[in-house]
């Protein structure tokens, strides 16, 4: 075996450990009592204490529901808007098309914390603070650009001859979008859905700023507030973090086949 290949394997193993150590540590802590954590943070638990999960569930049931209420509509809205933007950028010709696309790309590079103040003032003037609608809209707005970028490359690979044949039969642009582009792009739509779902589900900043009222806060913010009077309940936080990571993980596992196919563009019809 070549030395370069050995070094490559060592680097990959090291990177894998760097990713796995925090996950494994959180998983082990979720089964410890608070006394075990303060006695030895890195030691293995003496037993599997499931009480942390029962207690975390009592605290996180409402935030978990909030996460679904916010994430699912925001994801569907961002993917829907992404299909419209990607369709226009891939199948229509207009003078400022490259400029529009680069503006869309540049929007993904703007740090969210740099526009917190104006967004908060705008949402406050629209009475969207502490509302599900406000969180759904802000999450969809800031994630739509990613959906456009993902879907545009897929839409561009759909043969123009196929669309031209449909136009000859009398299909309008709206009919092409609904009857041909969308059905042919199911793998790409699933890829965009998975990426957007994980992004919005894990978002922390916007719910923290735009939803100070605890009754509508998602799990990402609720976990931060799991602090006792005199100490942080690390075991409960770890259990809640494991619970919060399960929905995106389950969705990715269920849609993995279509996700990979959509990312690689393998489902595009051959010419």
Domain boundaries defined on the chain: 50-264
State the pLDDT at residue 5.
Answer: 85
- Provide the residue-wise pLDDT of the chain in tens; the chain has 271 residues: 678 888 888 999 999 889 888 888 899 999 988 888 888 877 888 888 888 899 999 989 999 999 999 999 999 999 999 999 999 998 888 888 888 888 888 888 888 888 899 999 999 999 999 999 999 999 999 999 999 988 998 898 888 888 888 888 888 888 889 988 998 888 889 989 999 999 999 999 999 999 988 889 999 999 888 765 456 788 889 999 999 999 999 998 888 877 776 666 544 444 3
Rounded to two decimals, the pTM is 0.87
Residue with tokens 């540590």: 25
Query: Can you give the three-state secondary structure of 127-181, one letter per residue?
Result: CCCCCHHHHHHHHHHHHHHHHHHHHHHHHHCCCHHHHHHHHHCCCCHHHHHHHHH
Tokens of 270: 């051959």
User: In the chain, where does DSSP find H-type helix?
Assistant: 3-29, 34-39, 51-91, 97-107, 116-125, 132-156, 160-168, 173-176, 182-184, 186-201, 205-210, 219-224, 234-254, 256-264
CB neighbour burial string for 175-209, b if at least 16 within 10 angstroms, e if fewer: ebbeebbeebbebbbbbbbbbbbbbbbebeebbeb
- DSSP class of residue 50 equals T
* Cβ-contact 134, 128 below 8 angstroms: yes
Architecture of domain 50-264: Orthogonal Bundle (1.10)
């Amino acid at each position: 075996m070549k030395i370069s290949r050995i070094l490559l394997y060592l680097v990959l193993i090291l990177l894998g450990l760097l990713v796995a150590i925090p996950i494994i540590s959180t998983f082990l802590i979720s089964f410890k009592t608070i006394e075990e954590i303060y006695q030895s943070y890195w030691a293995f638990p003496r037993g599997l204490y499931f009480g942390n999960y029962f207690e975390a569930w009592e605290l996180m049931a409402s935030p978990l529901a909030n996460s679904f209420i916010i994430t699912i509509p925001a994801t569907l809205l961002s993917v829907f808007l992404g299909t419209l933007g990607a369709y226009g950028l891939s199948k229509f010709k207009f003078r400022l098309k490259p400029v529009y696309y680069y503006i869309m790309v540049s929007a993904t590079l703007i740090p969210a914390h740099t526009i917190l103040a104006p967004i908060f003032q705008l949402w406050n003037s629209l009475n969207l603070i502490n509302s599900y609608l406000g969180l759904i809209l802000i999450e969809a707005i800031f994630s739509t650009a990613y959906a456009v970028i993902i879907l545009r490359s897929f839409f561009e690979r759909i043969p123009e001859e196929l669309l031209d044949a449909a136009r000859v039969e009398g299909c309008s642009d709206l009919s092409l979008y609904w009857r041909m582009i969308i059905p042919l792009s199911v793998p790409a739509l699933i890829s965009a859905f998975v990426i957007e779902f994980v992004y919005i589900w894990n978002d922390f900043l916007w719910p923290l700023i735009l939803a100070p009222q605890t009754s509508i806060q998602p799990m990402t913010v609720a976990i931060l507030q799991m602090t006792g009077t005199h100490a942080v309940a690390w075991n409960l936080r770890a259990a809640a973090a494991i619970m919060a990571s399960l929905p995106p993980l389950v969705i990715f596992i269920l849609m993995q086949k279509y996700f990979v196919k959509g990312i690689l563009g393998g489902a595009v019809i051959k010419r």
